[in-house]
Chains A and B, each alone.
Chain A
Amino acid sequence: MDDLRELYQEVILDHNRHPRNFSAMEGASAKAEGYNPLCGDQLTLYLKSEGDQIKDLSFQGSGCAISKASASLMTEALKGKSKQEALELFKKFHHMVTGSVGEEPDPSLGKLAVFAGVCEYPARVKCASLAWHTLKNALEGKGEVAKTEG
């Protein structure tokens, strides 16, 4: 059970059960769709930004616990961040979930470090990063469906 808890941290289970910012957004300035054909995870991400700053984020969709919790925690982590900061965080997040076991997550990831266990489950990297790929599309003004390349 311990090794499972490593992946399914209480925070992840909580965000799966009660996803934050889980709604459609009125007056969003950007919107993007994400889809993971491997497991059918699907999400719509809404973004409100002012100039360079992300004012608000929300999402809707369905998927596994990892993808849902990842989207939920991402929307919390990025409120108030600049676009540049958001993309930097994505880089660090991606590095963490694809990195080597036992490596300490970058401190700036904060709560997002609960996904460190994902690196032990290569098949789940796509789930954890789906929301982030979708975010990138939204920030770059690409309306198309984001796909997860890992």
Chain B
Amino acid sequence: MKSKQNLQLVRPALDIEAIRQDFPVLHQAIRGKPLVYLDNAASTQKPRAVIQAVKDFYEKDYSNIHRGVHTLSERATIAYESARNEVAHFLNAKSEKEIVFVRGATEAINLVSQSWGKKFLKAGDEVLISHMEHHANIVPWQLLREQIGIELKVIPITDQGELDLEAFEKLLSKKTKLLSLVHISNTLGTINPVKDCIKKAHALGIPVLIDGAQAVAHQSVDVQDLDADFYVFSSHKVFSPSGVGVLYAKEAILDSMPPYQGGGDMILTVSFEKTTYNEIPHKFEAGTPNIEGVIGLGHGIQYLKHLGLDKIKAYEEELLSKATLALKEIEGLQIIGEAKNKVSVISFVLKDIHPHDIGTLLDNEGVAVRTGHHCTMPLMKRLGLPATARASFAFYNTVEEIDALLRALEKAKKVFG
């Protein structure tokens, strides 16, 4: 631990201007103003390294994978499988067999609910989620509830936007058969103490799924250290192509799960009488996948590694505290979500101006923020708000862009004033 910190001091901090040059999309005007992209929690921009990797694949190596003996097919297969290897290292999985490629975090959770859930859960069993879940970690369990009669229990949150840990422990019981918890809230920015939660659940033999959609872009994740049974995230939120997601699951668990979809690639042999399934992870990857997207993800992860997630985290913490302080200075502005541990995601409301109007007013100044319920309607209800505006920062955002946000908000107030 100590040596790690020493290393950090020796390594130079991030050169943000140079990093910005890696992202072509950032250099443009919106309605006559320089683009200030603060919607990174919704999706992230892509560095040249990712764009080039996808382009190169199309121009030099494109083919289907796992299918042919010809050279292009072999190259495509190698590129695709080395991306799997890259993801396994990124999450510190024991083996690349534990990495299943899907369409996104959403599909990964649906896969767990439909494959693992249908096999191992029965009527009356409880799945425990929290009040700050994204719809992607609510609706799949409701579908399962309709199908087999499981129960859904919800961990309450405090007014600061943190998990109510006392209530959490009380909710864990013999009936609890899965804890499915968001690592970092996309609406509040709250970093949940998932390692502790996993430990407490495991003490009662309860497996745990962690929705890491918002986590992997902001901090390094070690699934072995967390001891997560399932961990899911989306490629598009880590500076990589959309249409790809990752399901990590412990090997023994994946092995015990029935296929999610049937088709090509997930089988060993097919006859009309009986089909035998391929090994994991291929058993869960039916049909031709998003080959170029997966390859792009491999390069996106390489890019992140090259910047260093520790440095990214330190820089983003600086942006978060500067932006938080400055926003609080704005009269009538209230920050929603004041957890002690947060990433650079800031939801807020501004007195007398509806978030949707804020979104348009800021867009006029070139500032892109998200407004609405952020796919967390139960959370919004808990907060008593129809919507919030949300500014979410990535490592390519600058202190000057915080100023641009502030100026745009002041202007919005003037228009409505």
B340-382 CB contacts (< 8 Å) to partner A:
353-357, 359-361, 364, 371-373, 380
Chain A residues with CB below 8 A from B387, complex form: 39-40
The answer on a CB contact under 8 Å between A39 and B372 is: yes
Known: A8-B415, A8-B416. A64 touches B357 (CB 8 A): yes
B157-173 CB contacts (< 8 Å) to partner A:
none
Bound CA span A121–B360, Å: 8
Bitwise, A27-38 to B at CB < 8 A (1) or not (0) is 000000000001
Chain A residues with CB below 8 A from B371, complex form: 39
Decide yes or no whether B31 CB sits under 8 A from chain A.
yes
Residue of B nearest to A62 (CB): B386
Bound CA span A42–B354, Å: 13
Known: A13-B416, A40-B386, A42-B386. A4 touches B357 (CB 8 A): no
Bound CA span A124–B353, Å: 15
- Choose among A40, A42, A62, A124 the residue that contacts B360 (Cβ–Cβ < 8 A): A124
- Choose among A7, A38, A121 the residue that contacts B372 (Cβ–Cβ < 8 A): A38
The answer on a CB contact under 8 Å between A39 and B416 is: no
Task: Give the one of B360, B380, B386, B411 with max A CB within 10 A.
Answer: B360
Chain B residues with CB below 8 A from A4, complex form: 361, 364, 411, 415
Bound CA span A42–B387, Å: 12
Chain A residues with CB below 8 A from B353, complex form: 65
Residue of B nearest to A6 (CB): B364
For residue A41, give the distance in angstroms from its CB to the closest CB of chain B.
7
The answer on a CB contact under 8 Å between A123 and B31 is: no
Bound CA span A13–B355, Å: 15
The answer on a CB contact under 8 Å between A7 and B356 is: no
A89-117 CB contacts (< 8 Å) to partner B:
none
Residue of B nearest to A124 (CB): B360
Decide yes or no whether A3 CB sits under 8 A from chain B.
yes
The answer on a CB contact under 8 Å between B355 and A123 is: no
Residue of A nearest to B411 (CB): A1
- Choose among B360, B380, B415 the residue that contacts A5 (Cβ–Cβ < 8 A): B415
Bound CA span A3–B366, Å: 13
Chain B residues with CB below 8 A from A124, complex form: 356, 360
Residue of B nearest to A3 (CB): B364
- Choose among A7, A13, A63, A121 the residue that contacts B354 (Cβ–Cβ < 8 A): A63
The answer on a CB contact under 8 Å between B380 and A65 is: no
Bitwise, B379-402 to A at CB < 8 A (1) or not (0) is 010000011000000000000000
The answer on a CB contact under 8 Å between B411 and A39 is: no
Task: Give the one of A7, A13, A65, A124 with max B CB within 10 A.
Answer: A65
Chain A residues with CB below 8 A from B354, complex form: 39, 63-65
Bound CA span A142–B356, Å: 28
Bound CA span A4–B359, Å: 12
Residue of A nearest to B387 (CB): A40
Chain B residues with CB below 8 A from A3, complex form: 31, 364
- Choose among B31, B355, B357 the residue that contacts A66 (Cβ–Cβ < 8 A): B357
For residue B166, give the distance in angstroms from its CB to the closest CB of chain A.
31
Bitwise, B319-355 to A at CB < 8 A (1) or not (0) is 0000000000000000000000000000000000111
Residue of B nearest to A40 (CB): B386
Residue of A nearest to B365 (CB): A4
Chain A residues with CB below 8 A from B31, complex form: 3
Chain B residues with CB below 8 A from A42, complex form: 386
Known: A1-B415, A39-B371, A65-B354. A7 touches B360 (CB 8 A): yes
Known: A4-B361, A64-B357, A121-B360. A40 touches B415 (CB 8 A): no
The answer on a CB contact under 8 Å between B364 and A40 is: no
A65-88 CB contacts (< 8 Å) to partner B:
65-66
For residue A26, give the distance in angstroms from its CB to the closest CB of chain B.
27
Query: Lowest 7 A-B CB distances belong to which pairs?
Result: A40-B386, A64-B356, A64-B354, A39-B356, A40-B387, A65-B357, A64-B357
Residues of B within 8 A of A (CB): 31, 353-357, 359-361, 364, 371-373, 380, 386-387, 411, 414-416
What are 25 A-B interface contacts by the 8 Å CB criterion? A1-B411, A1-B414, A3-B364, A4-B411, A5-B415, A8-B357, A8-B361, A8-B416, A13-B415, A39-B354, A39-B371, A39-B372, A40-B372, A40-B373, A41-B386, A63-B386, A64-B355, A64-B356, A64-B357, A65-B353, A65-B416, A66-B357, A123-B359, A123-B360, A124-B360
